[in-house]
Structure 1
Amino acid sequence: MALGRAHSVAVTGVDGVLVEIEADIGQGLPSVHLVGLPDTALQESRDRVRSAVANSGEKWPDGRVILALSPATLPKLGSVYDLALAVAVLDASGAVPSERSATTVLLGELALDGRVRRVRGILPAVIAARRAGWSAVVVPEAALAEAGLVDGIAVLGASSLRAVVAWLRGEAALAEPDGPPPDIVHHGGDLCDVVGQDEARWALEVAAAGGHHLLLTGPPGIGKTMLAQRLPGLLPPLTEPEALEVTAIHSMAGMLSGEHPLITVPPFVAPHHSTSVTAMIGGGSGTARPGAVSRAHRGVLFLDECAEIGTKVLEAMRTPLEEGEVRIARRDGVARYPARFQLVLAANPCPCAPARDVDCVCAPLVRRRYLGKLSGPLMDRIDIRVQMHGQVGAAFSTDLAESSKVVRDRVAVARRAASERWYEYQWVTNAEVPGHILRQQFRLPRESLAPVEDALRSGRMSARGADRAIRVAWTICDLRGGELPTVQDVLAALNFRQRGVR
């Protein structure tokens, strides 16, 4: 009886757990048994691994092979374990020495001819291996740039099982990352392209400075989509930890490019209005994949024609908006994905959506039902609401509007002020600050809070809405360089909340 070992990683959400793979070769009829809660794709790896070993010039054991993956109670999904399974069998048969495999994590799917194929979730798997204290990891050569984003662990790329076997025997070397890739700057248009709409531009600046959610309503063709597309250009670049976190989510979604995988700018995600709950929040059969709210993490989620989106989809967003995280429950556990994004909603005022509101032919009940999908609890989480109106001759104006760079500089100064204020609590923007901190430790003077208290007593605002209005007031204060929000800042914040559909 011979025993061999190898190690891989099971990824659930953006979290990874090290998996030990044991191969036992015993007497009996030639067969392969896989234990440890494997799914269908992993069960089929028995045939893939056996063919890959044989086609790589190695001998498959003649006896009964048992492959055990532990922790035994953890469900194992996907084909990421193929390479580790093959190395465990070769280690058990004595075909390769165990010195290097004992300190290395192996990731990758095997083709029948022995090629190592790329799989989703390489980046979070490498991060989990580094966190667990492993010194090296072998990944598919096609995912070498992605895995090389992680410091503190030796990353090696393999094109085939034959190359891995030669490396384990000390006969050849595996590929290494070329170094950090150059930053890729994605241009979504400049804010100077938007002519007129001063109020909407100011609302966009406030939203960018404080990380607030935004609703834009108005007739079609007025510039709602143009403004939303330019919001990422007002946000600061992602920090190194944020970039790695966002890239890990896109790795699980299988959306990374091979040459430049690192995402350094805030993502912009705009799903179609016919999207489903699963596509928006995440899920699917087998491995729970990240949805649009998670792919927009640290960036912007734009929902155009939000009044056409299903009510269930809109209501499912309430928890991510409040908690900044999505938890997808499955029979065998919960997949967790971060989802701290800025939501931008755009809607027409009614189904007919004429250029001039006086030309509307919709009945009052129809207009009310059209935007009625935006429920009170959902709208309570929207900090800034702007009703946009057409401006005669604005499209042909020769006046130059402020560029994204000018506005971005002001946003950076405001965000720096907020970050310094909340440094002790590790919050970056005003939108992240819990309400009880604003009410107790950073309470505004009574004269400044008077408009909010009046709105609460009259029932025009909920307690959550009051907290959000105070957050917006802090952002307006930061943009003007003030130390403490004044009553004018609070009134401006309340004015933002009282416009739009409600």
Structure 2
Amino acid sequence: MAIKLISSTLLGISGMLVSVEIDISKGLPSFNIVGLPDTSVKEARARVYSAITNSDYSFPLGRITVNLAPGDIRKAGTLFDLPIALGILLATDQIFMDSREDYLIIGELCLDGSINRVNGVLPIVMEGYENNINNYIIPYDNANEASILKSVNIYPFKNLREVVNFLYYKDKKPYKCDEKPVQNTCDIDFSDVKGQESCKRALEIATAGNHNTILFGPPGCGKSMMAKRISTIMPSLSEIEALTVTKIYSVSGLLNPSGDIIRTPPFRAPHHSITKAALIGGGAKLYPGEISLAHNGILFLDELSEFDRSTLELLREPLEENTITISRSTGTVKYPANFLFIAAMNPCRCGYYLSGVKQCHCTEPERKRYINKFSGPFLDRVDIFSFAHPNKYNELVSDSHEESSKDIKKRVQTARDIQAQRYINENINYNGNLNEAQIKKYCKISQSSLRILEKYFNKYNISARSYNKILKVSRTIADLNGSEAIKEDHLAEAIQYRQFIDTVST
């Protein structure tokens, strides 16, 4: 008689239930795994054999067939080791397990029978819960991660023999994780930044409304310094946002060893030598890329001009759609990618164009070639351009008190609360995510403001996308100022944040 246990695999950042069926029949000794297993799943044969024999159980002589259903979905990873081993022991009557359909079992076996940590436990537990499974047998090192979901019974184990004893005696209580207070131990602050009030204002607007931003200016003026402090003014993640981010890091194997839920917005700053697959995701196992690891957080690209142009072009769809679909021969997955895009760069190759401090040695054609590395469609997806001026000596030595991240964060939180209330019936959270229909509904401006916008539109021949971005940034500026209506000064400020293309690349 075939033995059937419930396990799971991963599809993107979601779990998918898999039936592990084990049948042992007479014949020449063999051990086959079917159901589109990849190499790591096929290698379970050696791990399971050694784990069973080294745990003082008997490995049967006969024809062993393991089927992972459904058979049309590719199975990857080492999650199936433990259910396969338990299925073999059940099929040979060495152990007994009642209510098999009430348990979901995952775990990687070592040769000595111990159970290793696996990736993606949180999305697997969430998928099981949605399918009315309440009991989970998992590796001990995944206990905290799995217990994030409070309404299920988590049974973590260190080795195969512990699992067998539990199935026989039922003498273990569900694992409960001690709640830990959230501690903010950030040692950086916007008060560290001297001067640069216009850039600080631009980053405050960007954070409040989730607007993509490029900082440009001469080297050493604090562009990277300011960008790295954006995380200090971002509010903590909501419960749903935190669960999504934690799932992504769980699947990627980047969750911290404690397995705690991630409540602070992630900050990702990849080097300019990053590959395309590392940026957007992919590879043989279709892992999430940096844009997904930055979901609900910040993706910071320092020295933007040093990135390969074809790599930057890959950001065009995620910046617009807030998701990324990766299709390879091994399958297709869809990952979330709703991040705040921040970049820093010099205005020319020597770095001193428009600085007013040092003379720029670049010729006009050289400057144009430098900026033309960025395509029009890519720059069109950026909401805010802000020039970082060189610091003056009296700013650097001044004892004046700079505004702290705590004060800026309060205004950002207030603006985000206004947006959350406004869009309570919409499928968005921020002004930066407004579509065309929503812009018409929520970004209405007066006739005098329309005339200002018309003059700018006709003078610089901006695209419809740029036009909409001006309105979205205006909406955020109005929210920061506590204004229900978008006024002329809000619109004027939003327009001046489009000056990068006009003053440098033309």
**TM-score tier after normalising by the smaller chain length:** over 0.9
Q: How does 1:192-207 map to 2 (within 5 A)?
A: 192-207=191-206
Greater CA deviation, 408-417 or 84-93?
Answer: 84-93
Q: How does 1:374-393 map to 2 (within 5 A)?
A: 374-393=374-393
TM-superposed deviation, 1:332: 4.3
CA RMSD of aligned residues (A): 1.7
The alpha-carbon distance between structure 1 residues 225 and 147, as it changes in their structure 2 partners (threshold 3 A), is same
Take 1:255 and 1:266, find their aligned partners in 2: how far apart are those partners?
15
Structure 2 residue matching 1:151: 3-state secondary structure: coil
TM-superposed deviation, 1:435: 2.0
Take 1:156 and 1:264, find their aligned partners in 2: how far apart are those partners?
25
- In structure 2, the partner of 1:360 is 360
For residue 497 of structure 1, what is the amino acid of its counterpart?
R
Q: Is the 8 A contact 2:97 2:168 kept in 1?
A: no
TM-superposed deviation, 1:356: 5.0
- In structure 2, the partner of 1:334 is 332
CA deviation profile, 1:104-163 (whole Å, cap 9, x unmatched): 111111111111111221221111111222111121111111111123221121111111
Take 1:87 and 1:269, find their aligned partners in 2: how far apart are those partners?
41
Q: Is the 8 A contact 1:101 1:168 kept in 2?
A: no
The alpha-carbon distance between structure 1 residues 174 and 258, as it changes in their structure 2 partners (threshold 3 A), is farther
CA deviation profile, 1:144-196 (whole Å, cap 9, x unmatched): 11111123221121111111111111254277132333324251511111111
- In structure 2, the partner of 1:216 is 215
Greater CA deviation, 483-492 or 265-274?
Answer: 483-492
TM-superposed deviation, 1:260: 4.9
CA deviation profile, 1:322-341 (whole Å, cap 9, x unmatched): 11111111224311111100
Q: Is the 8 A contact 2:34 2:68 kept in 1?
A: yes
TM-superposed deviation, 1:235: 0.9
Q: Is the 8 A contact 1:473 1:490 kept in 2?
A: yes
For residue 314 of structure 1, what is the amino acid of its counterpart?
L
Q: Is the 8 A contact 2:444 2:486 kept in 1?
A: no
For residue 444 of structure 1, what is the amino acid of its counterpart?
I
Take 1:347 and 1:485, find their aligned partners in 2: how far apart are those partners?
31
Aligned residues: 500
TM-superposed deviation, 1:202: 0.6
For residue 318 of structure 1, what is the amino acid of its counterpart?
R
TM-superposed deviation, 1:449: 2.7
The alpha-carbon distance between structure 1 residues 336 and 98, as it changes in their structure 2 partners (threshold 3 A), is same
Q: How does 1:33-432 map to 2 (within 5 A)?
A: 33-170=32-169, 172-173=171-172, 176-187=175-186, 189-285=188-284, 287-354=285-352, 356=356, 358-393=358-393, 394-432=395-433
CA deviation profile, 1:63-85 (whole Å, cap 9, x unmatched): 21110000010101111111111
Structure 2 residue matching 1:68: 3-state secondary structure: strand
For residue 51 of structure 1, what is the amino acid of its counterpart?
S
TM-superposed deviation, 1:240: 1.2
Q: Is the 8 A contact 1:100 1:168 kept in 2?
A: no
Take 2:37 and 2:203, find their aligned partners in 1: how far apart are those partners?
49
Take 1:480 and 1:382, find their aligned partners in 2: how far apart are those partners?
22
Q: Is the 8 A contact 1:141 1:175 kept in 2?
A: no
Take 2:398 and 2:244, find their aligned partners in 1: how far apart are those partners?
43
Structure 2 residue matching 1:359: 3-state secondary structure: coil
Using the size of structure 2 for normalisation, the TM-score is 0.95
List alignment gaps of at least 5 residues for structure 1: none
Take 2:369 and 2:132, find their aligned partners in 1: how far apart are those partners?
57
Take 2:77 and 2:172, find their aligned partners in 1: how far apart are those partners?
28
The alpha-carbon distance between structure 1 residues 498 and 460, as it changes in their structure 2 partners (threshold 3 A), is farther
TM-superposed deviation, 1:100: 4.4
The sequence identity of aligned pairs, in percent, is 36
The alpha-carbon distance between structure 1 residues 263 and 392, as it changes in their structure 2 partners (threshold 3 A), is same
Structure 1 residue matching 2:20: 3-state secondary structure: strand
Take 1:188 and 1:292, find their aligned partners in 2: how far apart are those partners?
24
Take 1:151 and 1:209, find their aligned partners in 2: how far apart are those partners?
32
CA deviation profile, 1:310-369 (whole Å, cap 9, x unmatched): 011100011111111111112243111111000101001222224755422222222222
Structure 2 residue matching 1:216: 3-state secondary structure: strand
- In structure 2, the partner of 1:19 is 18
List alignment gaps of at least 5 residues for structure 2: none
Take 1:55 and 1:186, find their aligned partners in 2: how far apart are those partners?
45
Take 2:289 and 2:155, find their aligned partners in 1: how far apart are those partners?
30
Structure 2 residue matching 1:119: 3-state secondary structure: coil
For residue 391 of structure 2, what is the amino acid of its counterpart?
Q
For residue 391 of structure 1, what is the amino acid of its counterpart?
N
Q: Is the 8 A contact 1:38 1:75 kept in 2?
A: yes
Using the size of structure 1 for normalisation, the TM-score is 0.96
Structure 2 residue matching 1:373: 3-state secondary structure: coil
TM-superposed deviation, 1:495: 0.9
- In structure 2, the partner of 1:473 is 474
Take 2:380 and 2:125, find their aligned partners in 1: how far apart are those partners?
40
Take 2:479 and 2:252, find their aligned partners in 1: how far apart are those partners?
36
Q: Is the 8 A contact 1:114 1:162 kept in 2?
A: yes
Take 1:439 and 1:234, find their aligned partners in 2: how far apart are those partners?
29
